[in-house]
């Protein structure tokens, strides 16, 4: 296949981005009850019906509950890990304290940090069998760390303690790998557009509801506001997601299915040309322009803060962070999914994160009680609210609604995404070999295309080869 003509071009891009960052730094000085410790007759009946339906639809029914009970007398210590920001840490620690008040004999030892370096750390722990008992996990970790089911406990076996009836079967199916329910979904998330309404009004435009309106805004921004103003800004990963959104909308098939890329070289070239056309029409800035801003993310980028970048394509849960980054006087609004890209509803939605229990835990029942407490019980749900997104648990969601704990903008964005997107996301889409900043295939392809190091033909070859390598693992 055709490879990069000059490896130094890729290295120069990395160096240029690093230098830009250094220069920039120099210039800026839901109603639920208690976790059941025995299963009620009603719950048993509901479970029996669910299992019967599953058995009829699949070749293997979920594993039966093991009949364990929570030890409420002997001293027990379980470990619990998660990543996040300060507000998530503080909220989770409050919930953990409430759990230990309910179960005075159980001590929960917590470990937590920011995201940077966390995935590598957890990968090593799961590989060596030293992971904590209960873990906040990314959805794709199930396939990355436990494609054979060896890393995580089958939560179906704990369903007499962890109330799985609070979760839709579709969500649970997404966490079932190798015949085991390896995680219980905390929240669903997806990508949607956020607009700076103030900047659009300066350009004499309404925020776009269609691709046609977005595309037309490029020339208007350039002519009325200046070359530094863009209707939308996208980094390399954003561009890859938007390309898949476009292709699914146009061609009506999932990006990957059964570990097979569903798109031909010609179709992928169509998607890459679409992304390039946005640059050519002044809809999005080039990767070089974004790198020159010297910001690690858009919420730290002065051009987003002051309204020169008037749109971003972000996670629904990121709304508060992106809104808070805007300078005073900028109006932030949630956009719409762009329905005019084709006859199908493409897009990007997934299980945001899960709780998984280590296969090696000595205390599966007590771990299940902690997970149930955090997701389904008022004393565990209320302190955390939507810190991990809009809850998947029906009980958790109702608690949050009743107590007014949901951010209205996040709720609006989440509802728009989940009501629209119709194609499943393959968990390997987010494999680090594809997604990693400055190193992954997505970054290489989209940056190389923007810088002119690849033409469309070369970029499509690199993308296809990289994806197939990951899918074959």
Whole-number pLDDT of residue 427: 86
Whole-number pLDDT of residue 25: 43
Spatial contact of 122 and 151, defined as CB atoms under 8 Å apart: no
Q: pLDDT tens-digit profile of 69-97?
A: 999 999 999 999 999 988 899 999 999 99
Whole-number pLDDT of residue 253: 96
Q: Which of 136, 142, 141, 140 is nearest to 113 (CA)?
A: 136
pLDDT tops 70 at residue 254: yes
Largest CA distance in the chain: 73
* Whether residue 441 sits in one domain with residue 362: no
* Domain's final residue, options 419, 438, 460: 419
**Residue 308 maps to a domain:** yes
Whole-number pLDDT of residue 332: 97
pLDDT tops 80 at residue 49: no
Distance CA 446, CA 168 (A): 36
Q: Which helix (H) or strand (E) holds 176?
A: strand 176-177
Contacts of 176 (CB under 8 A, 6+ apart): 62, 182
Whole-number pLDDT of residue 115: 85
Whole-number pLDDT of residue 53: 41
- Total number of domains in the chain: 2
* Whether residue 315 sits in one domain with residue 432: yes
**Residue 451 maps to a domain:** yes
* Whether residue 365 sits in one domain with residue 391: yes
**Residue 57 maps to a domain:** no
Spatial contact of 21 and 294, defined as CB atoms under 8 Å apart: yes
Spatial contact of 96 and 132, defined as CB atoms under 8 Å apart: no
* Whether residue 443 sits in one domain with residue 415: no
Q: Which of 372, 360, 430 is nearest to 119 (CA)?
A: 430
Rounded to 5°, the CA angle 43-45-47 comes to 70
Residue 436 — very low, low, confident or very high, per pLDDT cuts 50/70/90?
Answer: confident
* Whether residue 176 sits in one domain with residue 308: no
Lowest mean pLDDT among 57-66, 377-386, 414-423: 57-66
CB atoms within 10 A of CB 178: 14
Domain extent, residue 410, equals 76-189+351-419
Whole-number pLDDT of residue 17: 54
Query: For 258, left (φ over 0), alpha (ψ -120 to 50), or beta?
Result: left
**Residue 37 maps to a domain:** no
Contacts of 84 (CB under 8 A, 6+ apart): 92, 112, 114, 115, 136, 387, 388
* Whether residue 360 sits in one domain with residue 396: yes
* Whether residue 406 sits in one domain with residue 438: no
**Residue 299 maps to a domain:** yes
DSSP state of 158: G
Whole-number pLDDT of residue 317: 84
* Domain's final residue, options 419, 434, 454: 419
More confident residue, 101 or 84: 101
Whole-number pLDDT of residue 50: 38
Q: Which of 372, 414, 38, 367 is nearest to 194 (CA)?
A: 414
Whole-number pLDDT of residue 12: 55
* Whether residue 222 sits in one domain with residue 105: no
pLDDT tops 60 at residue 350: yes
Tell me the CATH number at 251.
3.40.190.10
* Whether residue 280 sits in one domain with residue 170: no
Residue appearing with tokens 């690199």: 462
Percent of the chain topping pLDDT 70: 87
**Residue 2 maps to a domain:** no
- Coil, strand, or helix at residue 113? strand
The sign one gets for the Cα dihedral 367, 373, 376, 381 is negative
* Whether residue 288 sits in one domain with residue 243: yes
Q: pLDDT tens-digit profile of 298-327?
A: 999 999 999 999 999 999 988 988 999 999
Q: What is the mean pLDDT of residues 119-134?
A: 94
Q: pLDDT tens-digit profile of 134-189?
A: 999 999 999 889 999 999 999 999 999 999 999 999 899 999 999 999 999 999 99
Q: Which of 275-289, 337-351, 418-432 has the highest mean pLDDT?
A: 275-289
Whole-number pLDDT of residue 207: 98
* Whether residue 240 sits in one domain with residue 92: no
* Whether residue 325 sits in one domain with residue 463: yes
Average pLDDT along the chain? 89
Size (the chain), residues: 473
**Residue 5 maps to a domain:** no
pLDDT tops 70 at residue 21: no
**Residue 458 maps to a domain:** yes
Lowest mean pLDDT among 15-24, 215-224, 360-369, 407-416: 15-24
Distance CA 421, CA 330 (A): 29
Residue 42 — very low, low, confident or very high, per pLDDT cuts 50/70/90?
Answer: very low
């Amino acid at each position: 296949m055709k490879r990069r003509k000059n490896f130094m071009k890729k290295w120069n891009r990395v160096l240029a981005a690093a230098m830009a960052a250094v220069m920039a730094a120099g210039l800026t000085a839901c109603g639920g009850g208690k976790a059941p410790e025995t299963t009620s007759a009603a719950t048993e009946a509901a479970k029996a019906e669910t299992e019967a339906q599953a058995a009829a639809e699949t070749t293997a029914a979920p594993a039966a509950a093991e009949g364990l009970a929570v030890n409420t007398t002997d001293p027990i210590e379980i470990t619990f890990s998660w990543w996040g920001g300060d507000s998530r840490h503080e909220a989770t620690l409050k919930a953990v304290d409430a759990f230990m008040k309910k179960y005075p004999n159980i001590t929960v030892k917590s470990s937590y940090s920011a995201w940077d370096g966390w995935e590598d750390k957890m990968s090593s722990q799961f590989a060596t069998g030293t992971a904590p008992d209960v873990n906040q996990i990314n959805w794709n970790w199930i396939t990355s760390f436990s494609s054979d089911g060896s890393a995580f406990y089958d939560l179906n076996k704990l369903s007499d303690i962890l109330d799985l009836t609070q979760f839709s079967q579709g969500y649970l199916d997404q966490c079932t790998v190798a015949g085991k329910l390896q995680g219980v979904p905390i929240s669903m998330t997806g990508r949607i557009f956020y607009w700076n309404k103030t900047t659009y009004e300066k350009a004499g435009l309404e925020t776009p509801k269609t691709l046609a309106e977005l595309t037309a805004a490029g020339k208007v921004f350039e002519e009325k506001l200046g070359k530094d103003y863009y209707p939308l800004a996208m980094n390399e990963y954003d561009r890859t997601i938007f390309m898949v959104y476009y292709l699914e909308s146009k061609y009506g098939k999932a990006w990957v299915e059964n570990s097979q890329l569903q798109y031909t070289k010609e179709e992928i070239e169509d998607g890459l040309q679409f992304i390039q056309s946005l640059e050519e029409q002044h809809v999005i800035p080039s990767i070089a322009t974004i790198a020159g801003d010297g910001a690690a993310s858009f919420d730290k980028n002065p051009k987003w803060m002051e309204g020169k970048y008037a749109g971003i394509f972000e996670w629904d849960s990121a709304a508060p962070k992106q809104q808070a980054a805007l300078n005073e006087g900028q109006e932030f609004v949630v956009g719409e999914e762009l329905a005019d890209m084709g006859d199908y509803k493409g897009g990007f939605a997934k299980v945001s994160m899960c709780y998984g229990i280590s296969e090696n835990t000595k205390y599966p029942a007590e771990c299940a009680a902690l997970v149930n407490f955090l997701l389904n019980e008022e004393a565990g749900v209320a302190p955390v609210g939507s810190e991990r997104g809009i809850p998947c648990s029906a009980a958790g969601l109702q608690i949050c609604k009743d107590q007014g704990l949901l951010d209205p903008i996040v709720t609006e964005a989440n509802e728009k995404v989940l009501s629209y997107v119709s194609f499943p996301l393959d968990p390997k889409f987010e494999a680090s070999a594809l997604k990693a900043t400055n190193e992954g295939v997505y970054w290489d392809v989209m940056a190389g295309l923007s810088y002119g190091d690849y033409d469309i033909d070369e970029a499509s070859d690199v993308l296809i080869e990289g994806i197939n390598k990951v899918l074959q693992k």
